[in-house]
Amino acid sequence: MKQHGVALRPHLKSAKSDQVARLATAGHNGGVTVSTLAEAEYFLRHGFDDIIYAVCMAPGKLPDADALISAGADLKLLVDSVEAASAIGSYEGADTFRVLIEVDSGDARTGVLPGSPELLEIAKILHESPGSELLGVLTHGGHSYVASNIPEIQKVAQQEREAVVTAAQKLRDAGLPCPMVSAGSTPTAVHGESFEGITEMRPGVYVFFDLDQLSRQVCTREELALSVLGTVISHNRHAGQIVTDTGALALSKDISANANWPQAGYGEVCDVLTLEQIDNLYVASVSQEHGVIPVSDPDIYEQLPIGSKVRILPNHACITAAAYTHYEVVEGNQVVDRWERVNGW
């Protein structure tokens, strides 16, 4: 991002950890992104005050947001509707809410289209209401997560940039302020070719990467930083499989990498130290506390006896990590630290 002259505002929904946040913001301006108000409260408490809550604001959450701002957060909210903008603008709290408008750049999840009349309607409400200040526009090119290769990601990055820059221009043409033009996803931050007109990018999963990102050419295998430690608990030779204690809760039921890599299953089974995949093994099915790994070569039963350890590379680091209260930080074969997480809402 520095090379492109764009601020980095990491999305901390992936790691939810103040230690990771410190690494991710080192050398940058300290701005961060969150997906829940619980994260906002946690990161404020750990010294991060420049925060975008990048999920459309529900009016019922305004008292909690107001309390965070009163406690010192420069918390920026997001809206994509006249209703939410009006509720924020007319809210009688202790603080003025600083608000961004979400633009749909092709992901078709939330956000207004950059050419829609709602964009200016919402902007005017936010600019003119006593309770709110218009900060600009924000988009998330989330459809980069279904791109399969670099050219497809570059196309999404272009759509993302064009949509949010177009929306910013519409605001400025109408005489409205637009200091912030926020975009980003990990794939588009990594592979975007132009960031012209964008003021900041908000990648998230890049702090760990995962099989899904690897399958879409966003990272290298050596960059995968998060794995789940499992123990072999059964050799079911009559069914041709070993079974580990890493099931649906330990790995999550996210199988996003399978769109490109059907053999990713619920995760690749790797050597604990080298993190190299063992004989193409993967977790083919999960129940709550069981992970089933098909075995074709009977030597595997000798190589991985009952009680031995494996490391599983998950599909989607953000979703898998959410089952854990903390990270065990590993260097070589040593656990060197323990980093906490904030979970829940």
Q: Which residues bind its own copies (CB under 8 A)?
A: 13, 35-36, 55-61, 80-81, 83-84, 87, 104, 108-111, 113, 116, 142, 231-236, 238-239, 243, 245, 248-250, 252-255, 287-290, 292, 305-307, 318-319, 322-325, 343-345
User: How would you classify residue 18: left for phi > 0, otherwise alpha for psi between -120 and 50, otherwise beta?
Assistant: alpha
CA distance 159 to 153: 10
Q: Least separation, in Å, of the C-beta of 35 and its own copies?
A: 5
Nearer CB in complex with its own copies: 174/239: 239
The residues pairing with 236 across neighbouring beta strands, listed in sequence order, are: 241
For the record, the structure tokens of 177 come out as 């302020």
Check if the beta carbon of residue 51 is closer than 8 Å to that of residue 13. no
Q: What is the DSSP string of 11-63?
A: BTTTT--HHHHHHHHTTS---EEESSHHHHHHHHHTT--EEEE-SPPPGGGHH
Nearer CB in complex with its own copies: 6/313: 313
CA distance 16 to 281: 30
Q: Least separation, in Å, of the C-beta of 80 and its own copies?
A: 5
Helices then strands, each counted (H, E), the chain: 11, 17
Q: Least separation, in Å, of the C-beta of 341 and its own copies?
A: 11
Q: Least separation, in Å, of the C-beta of 237 and its own copies?
A: 9
Neighbouring C-beta atoms of residue 283, cutoff 10 Å: 30
Neighbouring C-beta atoms of residue 110, cutoff 10 Å: 17
For the record, the structure tokens of 84 come out as 């939410």
Nearer CB in complex with its own copies: 35/199: 35
Q: Least separation, in Å, of the C-beta of 2 and its own copies?
A: 27
Nearer CB in complex with its own copies: 6/122: 122
Check if the beta carbon of residue 53 is closer than 8 Å to that of residue 78. yes
Scan for tokens 């064009």, then name that residue: 162
Q: Least separation, in Å, of the C-beta of 27 and its own copies?
A: 26
Nearer CB in complex with its own copies: 104/268: 104
Nearer CB in complex with its own copies: 210/254: 254
Nearer CB in complex with its own copies: 6/228: 228
Q: Least separation, in Å, of the C-beta of 57 and its own copies?
A: 7
